[in-house]
Amino acid sequence: MLDLSLEASWERELGDEMGKDYYAAIGQFLKAEMDQGKVVYPKSTDIFNAFSLCPFPQVKVVILGQDPYHNPLQAHGLCFSVANGIAPPPSLVNIFKEIKSDLGFDIPTTGNLNNWAKQGVLLLNASLTVEAHLPMSHSKIGWQIFTDAIIKKLSEQRENLVFLLWGKFAQSKAVMIDANKHLILQAAHPSPLSAYNGFWGCRHFSKTNEYLLSHHFSPIDWQLP
């Protein structure tokens, strides 16, 4: 049976949203797809990994992605992140290169960003599932209603968060965020197709930590093994 329940603190914040018809329809759609033998990523137990690893009160930073990876063994519920043992995709490699340029850290051997999530980085994809080999295939099943509600809830209920919006899609969500309460950092997407257009040199990782420290939060250790 497909379980679309959330970590307790998120469930408290989003219980009303999860009671709506569109949310039930997401579960019905995913179950029907799986019953037909279609492969959905990430696996069902990882769909809400971002929330399990980063409870609502612990969120300090939000990185917004668009869609889970659609190739085997990559997606595990955190945007841009891949499971252990999987080579980092090009956008993630570029993120690591910018961190090296910004902070001097070596390029890590893993693409698993669990450690960031555990420190308070919500790695949120706008769509939380995808059919294998079909990018954006679940972009219209209701997930974006749900993840938009998450962005709005964080903006309203929390203060002094950092939102990293890379690329036009992520930047379209800026209207949901109260810029008087939070820091919004925008740059080009780290994809090789666009990183040259302003992602390189954005220094979002040091800027994030400067802002967190100025508001009495502990900084994020961006260095991975």
What does the DSSP assignment read for 82-106?
--TTSPPPHHHHHHHHHHHHHH-PP
What is the rounded CA–CA span in Å between residue 98 and residue 100? 5
Region for residue 17 given its phi and psi (left: phi exceeds 0; alpha: psi -120 to 50; beta: otherwise): alpha
Judge whether 67 counts as a catalytic residue: yes
From the CB of residue 192, how many other CB atoms can be counted at a distance below 10 Å?
12
Of 127, 126, 141, nearest to 31 (Cα)? 141
Residues in contact with 35: Cβ distance below 8 Å, sequence separation at least 6, in sequence order: none
Contact (CB, 8 A) for 109 and 225: yes
One of 16, 67, 178, 221 is an active-site residue; which one?
67
- Tokens 């949120």 identify what position? 124
CA-CA-CA-CA torsion sign (201, 75, 211, 156): positive
Tell me the H-state helices in 81-203.
90-103, 114-118, 143-157, 167-171
E runs forming strands in the chain: 40-41, 61-65, 121-125, 130-131, 162-166, 183-187
Active-site positions read 67
